[in-house]
Chain A
Amino acid sequence: MTSILTNLFDGVAYGMLLFVLACGLAVTLGLMNFVNLAHGAFAMAGGYVCMLLVNQHGWPFFAALPLAFVSAAAIGIVLERTLYRHLYARSHLDQVLFTIGLTFMSVAAVDYVQGSSRVFINLPAALEGQFDVFGVGIGRYRLMIIVICGLLTIGLQMVLAKTRFGSRLRAAVDDPRAASGLGINVPQVFAFTFAFGCGLAGLGGALSAEILGLDPYFPLKFMIYFLIVVTVGGSSSITGPFLASLLLGIGDVAGKYYVPKMGPFVIYTMMIVILIWRPNGLFGRTAAR
């Protein structure tokens, strides 16, 4: 029994991490209708910024996390203004080719500057190890992930559903022409949203270094996971990707624990079954744009 709960805990933490990493992609793909396969590159940028600040400049880990967010968002806004915005009106294929190219460039650049070996962030001692709650092993670091990611999710949902900015964004997406006619600065809204998505990815990258490892190939290695989360969840809301991340995280961990011979097969099987059942994802809109 306790091992079931330990696995459930690990699965939730893994799922939450996947969500923070992927929800920026859900925003650009679902809300802005832009295929950004370079999403993992922003996550990697955040991870490396956090690593450099903590390991080389002696920053505390918790002070470096917001900076990972800010720097990834800053890179995002610069690239959005200079490169991405020219591609909004282009076909999805153009967007895919462009962002894949960007991904490869980021891999080469980080490899050149930082070298190819895997790096680790020096964690404070308080985050290491596990403690027992009625025999269930609770990893301190994973607990922190659940707390941070949980708060972020709630905050994000509030912003999108309840605030003025959220409604402006939804209006800008659904009908850019009408929205700008109403005085909404559409490019600005898009740029801000894009940067925010990149920032989330950067934060996810910093948080995931401990669990997934951080090296220059990060954007390529985890692209598939981001895409699975977004396809399974459907890209029209953030509730979908959130539930999909949890489901996949728990499923992946449980699969590896109970049927280790199946390896990563479990996560792909889940994806296929869900997509046969609901081709637009768990919460996808049925009518295509």
Chain B
Amino acid sequence: MFERKQISRTAVLAAIAGLAGLAPAKAEDTVKIGMILPMTGGQASTGKQIENAIKLYMQQKGDTVAGKKIEIIVKDDAAIPDKTKTAAQELIVNDKVSFIGGFGVTPAALAAAPLATQAKIPEVVMAAGTSIITERSPYIVRTSFTLAQSSTIIGDWAAKNGIKKVATLTSDYAPGNDALNFFKEHFTAGGGQVVEEVKTPLANPDFAPFLQRMKDAKPDAIFVFVPAGQGGNFMKQYAERGLDKAGIKVIGPGDVTDDDLLNNMGDAVLGTVTAHIYSAAHPSQMNKDFVAAYKKAFGTRPGFMAVSGYDGIHLIYEALKKTNGDTDGTKLVEAMKGQKWESPRGPISIDPETRDIIQNVYIRKVEKVDGELYNVEFQTFEGVKDLGKTKK
């Protein structure tokens, strides 16, 4: 019995030694990037957009940087923080990745933060949007956006453009509360008044009673933030209840009119004004090429999550170029700070102090272009930093 145990242990040790012998040779020419994305569950469209964008980028730019081959390992966390944590551990310990990236929702990005700090590897956040995220680890860099960026801008814009009374409808979770608070602060500072405030539970998609309450409050506009997937339901029920005919406009950060779903929402969305970082109708040549390539490869329009993923992988490529292929995490984060480039959404850069993204925020209105619905940009706020941090 004892002997048999010893034999098997020797075998295991030999196997490990064998693997260890192989590993360094491999590590020299491959850089592994662990992507933790919600590929199933309610946030799956986020994960798919980011994965698509990364595939597209690697098709266009090749899979070698600074002499190293890039290997992407995708893990599905279904946007559940516990799974995110396990996935991050596996990627760091077993797969020896040099980056972790993705993160569909805020709790997922936060769950991985202490691991990034411990392992000293960059965590590139490509979707989650609450302000606090980048403060949780010196290794976190973000290429998506923060809700403060879009919500404050739409608050200022509304106050200046004849909207006096607003009712708010936001999903009751951290990003929803961020959106609400930043909007309220800027809108009321500009002289506006919030007449009704409703927080909807994340799980329930029937907005009818909430919308009836909004209608009875008779505001000039409703400020809406719901997770991207629920935007379509909201807009349909908004039209069903006749709020558009009652002259109540919809304003908000652009999640509610995400390009991913916008075209299926029907004409009731026409005229919705939102502030956001990206529209598939952004008029630059680079974006036109990006949209065309994405459509050709995946058959759908890219949304803001796709462009965040595209920029995320770009940032990783550039960092590796700058370190000349060195995968030391601290050097990579240093290389990412202050990076500046032209993205399909317009010029963007990484703030060297907060490691958060600085970008243009556009005011857009839903219009029909060639028979399809698009967010058409009509005003630009340039180089917006995350206001959630500059306040402190």
Q: A residues within 8 Å of B by Cβ?
A: 3, 6-7, 10, 14, 107-108, 111, 115-120, 128-130, 137, 139, 141, 210-213, 215, 217, 221, 252-257, 260-261, 263-264
* A253-B209 CB under 8 A given contacts A213-B232, A264-B204: yes
- Nearest A residue to B204 via CB reads A264
Q: Is B213 an interface residue (CB 8 A)?
A: yes
* A221-B216 CB under 8 A given contacts A14-B208, A117-B45, A257-B209: no
* Residue from A111, A137, A139 in contact with B44 in the complex, judged by beta carbons closer than 8 Å: A111
* Residue from B205, B240, B265 in contact with A141 in the complex, judged by beta carbons closer than 8 Å: B240
Q: Is B352 an interface residue (CB 8 A)?
A: no
* A260-B199 CB under 8 A given contacts A3-B216, A213-B205, A217-B42: yes
Q: Which residues of A contact B239 (CB under 8 A)?
A: 128-129
Q: Which residues of A contact B213 (CB under 8 A)?
A: 257, 260
- Nearest B residue to A265 via CB reads B201
A6 near B212: Cβ-Cβ < 8 Å: yes
A261 near B199: Cβ-Cβ < 8 Å: yes
Nearest CB in chain B: distance from A8 CB, A? 11
Q: Which residues of B contact A116 (CB under 8 A)?
A: 40, 44-45, 48
Q: Which residues of B contact A108 (CB under 8 A)?
A: 40
A212 near B199: Cβ-Cβ < 8 Å: no
Q: Which residues of A contact B216 (CB under 8 A)?
A: 3
* A120-B264 CB under 8 A given contacts A139-B241, A141-B240: yes
B198 near A221: Cβ-Cβ < 8 Å: no
A118 near B44: Cβ-Cβ < 8 Å: no
Q: Which residues of B contact A115 (CB under 8 A)?
A: 45, 48
| A36 and B341 alpha carbons, distance in the complex (Å) | 55
| A228 and B48 alpha carbons, distance in the complex (Å) | 33
A264 near B203: Cβ-Cβ < 8 Å: yes
* Residue from A117, A120, A221 in contact with B236 in the complex, judged by beta carbons closer than 8 Å: A120
* Interface residues in B95-153 (C-beta closer than 8 Å to A): none
Q: Which residues of B contact A263 (CB under 8 A)?
A: 172, 199-201, 204
* A257-B242 CB under 8 A given contacts A116-B45, A217-B41, A221-B203: no
Q: Is B206 an interface residue (CB 8 A)?
A: yes
Nearest CB in chain B: distance from A62 CB, A? 18
* Residue from A128, A252, A257 in contact with B212 in the complex, judged by beta carbons closer than 8 Å: A257
* Interface residues in B195-247 (C-beta closer than 8 Å to A): 198-201, 203-206, 208-210, 212-213, 216, 229-230, 232-233, 236-237, 239-242
Q: Which residues of B contact A6 (CB under 8 A)?
A: 212
Nearest CB in chain B: distance from A104 CB, A? 10
| A260 and B42 alpha carbons, distance in the complex (Å) | 23
B261 near A118: Cβ-Cβ < 8 Å: yes
* Interface residues in B39-73 (C-beta closer than 8 Å to A): 40-42, 44-45, 48
B208 near A130: Cβ-Cβ < 8 Å: no
| A264 and B202 alpha carbons, distance in the complex (Å) | 10
| A165 and B228 alpha carbons, distance in the complex (Å) | 48
* Subset of 20 A-B contacts with CB under 8 Å: A108-B40, A128-B239, A129-B240, A130-B242, A139-B240, A139-B241, A141-B240, A211-B208, A211-B237, A212-B206, A212-B233, A213-B232, A213-B233, A217-B41, A221-B42, A255-B209, A256-B209, A256-B210, A260-B210, A261-B199
Nearest CB in chain B: distance from A272 CB, A? 17
- Nearest A residue to B205 via CB reads A213
Q: Is B356 an interface residue (CB 8 A)?
A: no
Nearest CB in chain B: distance from A184 CB, A? 42
B212 near A10: Cβ-Cβ < 8 Å: yes
- Nearest A residue to B216 via CB reads A3
* Residue from B201, B212, B261 in contact with A3 in the complex, judged by beta carbons closer than 8 Å: B212
A118 near B229: Cβ-Cβ < 8 Å: yes
| A221 and B203 alpha carbons, distance in the complex (Å) | 8
A212 near B264: Cβ-Cβ < 8 Å: no
Q: Which residues of B contact A256 (CB under 8 A)?
A: 209-210
| A116 and B210 alpha carbons, distance in the complex (Å) | 26
| A139 and B239 alpha carbons, distance in the complex (Å) | 10
Q: Is B255 an interface residue (CB 8 A)?
A: no
B236 near A210: Cβ-Cβ < 8 Å: yes
Q: Which residues of B contact A212 (CB under 8 A)?
A: 205-206, 233
Q: Which residues of A contact B199 (CB under 8 A)?
A: 260-261, 263
Nearest CB in chain B: distance from A176 CB, A? 39
B240 near A253: Cβ-Cβ < 8 Å: no
Q: Is B77 an interface residue (CB 8 A)?
A: no
* Residue from B48, B208, B237, B260 in contact with A253 in the complex, judged by beta carbons closer than 8 Å: B208
* A7-B212 CB under 8 A given contacts A139-B240, A263-B201: yes
Nearest CB in chain B: distance from A261 CB, A? 7
Q: Which residues of A contact B232 (CB under 8 A)?
A: 118, 120, 213
| A137 and B45 alpha carbons, distance in the complex (Å) | 35
B229 near A215: Cβ-Cβ < 8 Å: yes
| A10 and B237 alpha carbons, distance in the complex (Å) | 12
| A210 and B205 alpha carbons, distance in the complex (Å) | 10
Q: Which residues of A contact B264 (CB under 8 A)?
A: 119-120
- Nearest B residue to A104 via CB reads B40
| A221 and B209 alpha carbons, distance in the complex (Å) | 20
Nearest CB in chain B: distance from A207 CB, A? 13
The digit string for B265-290, where 1 denotes a CB below 8 A from any CB of A, is 11000000000000000000000000
* A14-B206 CB under 8 A given contacts A118-B229, A210-B236, A260-B198: yes
Q: Which residues of A contact B204 (CB under 8 A)?
A: 263-264
| A111 and B264 alpha carbons, distance in the complex (Å) | 18
Q: Which residues of A contact B240 (CB under 8 A)?
A: 128-130, 139, 141
| A215 and B41 alpha carbons, distance in the complex (Å) | 10
- Nearest B residue to A261 via CB reads B199
A7 near B209: Cβ-Cβ < 8 Å: yes
Nearest CB in chain A: distance from B361 CB, A? 25
- Nearest A residue to B244 via CB reads A129
B208 near A10: Cβ-Cβ < 8 Å: yes
Q: Which residues of B contact A120 (CB under 8 A)?
A: 232, 236, 264-266
Nearest CB in chain B: distance from A196 CB, A? 27
- Nearest B residue to A254 via CB reads B209
| A211 and B206 alpha carbons, distance in the complex (Å) | 6
Sorted from nearest, which 6 A-B pairs have the closest CB atoms? Answer: A116-B44, A256-B209, A263-B201, A257-B209, A253-B209, A260-B198
| A263 and B200 alpha carbons, distance in the complex (Å) | 7
